[in-house]
Amino acid sequence: MAKGKTGSEIQPIAENRKARHDYFVEETYEAGIVLVGSEVKSCRAGRVNLRDSYAEIKNGEIFLLNCHISPFEQANRFNHEPLRPRKLLMHKVEIQRLFGKVREKGFTLVPLRLYFKKGRVKVELALAKGKRSFDKREDIAARDVKREMARALRGKYDD
The CA distances from residue 51 to 6, 20, 44, 94, in Å, are 31, 12, 18, 24
Residue 63 lies in a domain: yes
pTM confidence score: 0.73
Output the CA torsion sign for 138, 142, 148, 149.
Answer: positive
pLDDT tens, residue order, the chain (159 aa): 444 455 567 787 888 888 887 888 888 999 999 888 888 888 888 888 888 888 889 998 999 899 888 887 776 777 777 788 889 999 999 988 888 888 877 788 899 889 988 888 899 999 888 877 777 788 788 888 888 888 888 876 655
Whether residue 72 lies inside any domain: the answer is yes
Is residue 57 included in any domain, yes or no? yes
> Helix or strand or coil: residue 71?
coil
Domain-located, residue 158: no
> By three-state DSSP, how is residue 27 classified?
strand
The H or E element that residue 57 is part of is: strand 54-58
- Give residue 69's pLDDT: 83
Asked if 62 and 55 count as a contact pair (C-beta separation under 8 A), the reply is yes
Q: What's the CATH number where 61 sits? A: 2.40.280.10
**Structural domain span for residue 124:** 10-131
91: in domain: yes
pLDDT for 62 equals 92
pLDDT at residue 1, as a whole number: 42
> Residue 69 and residue 75: Cα distance in Å, rounded?
13
pLDDT score at 63: 92
Task: Tell me whether residue 140 is in a domain.
Answer: no
- Overall domain count for the chain: 1
Domain membership of residue 5 (yes or no) is no
Question: Cα–Cα distance between 112 and 102 in angstroms, integer?
Answer: 17
Query: Could you give the CA distance from residue 53 to residue 22 in angstroms, rounded to a whole number?
Result: 13
In a domain, 146, yes or no: no
Contact criterion met (CB below 8 Å) for 126 and 112? yes
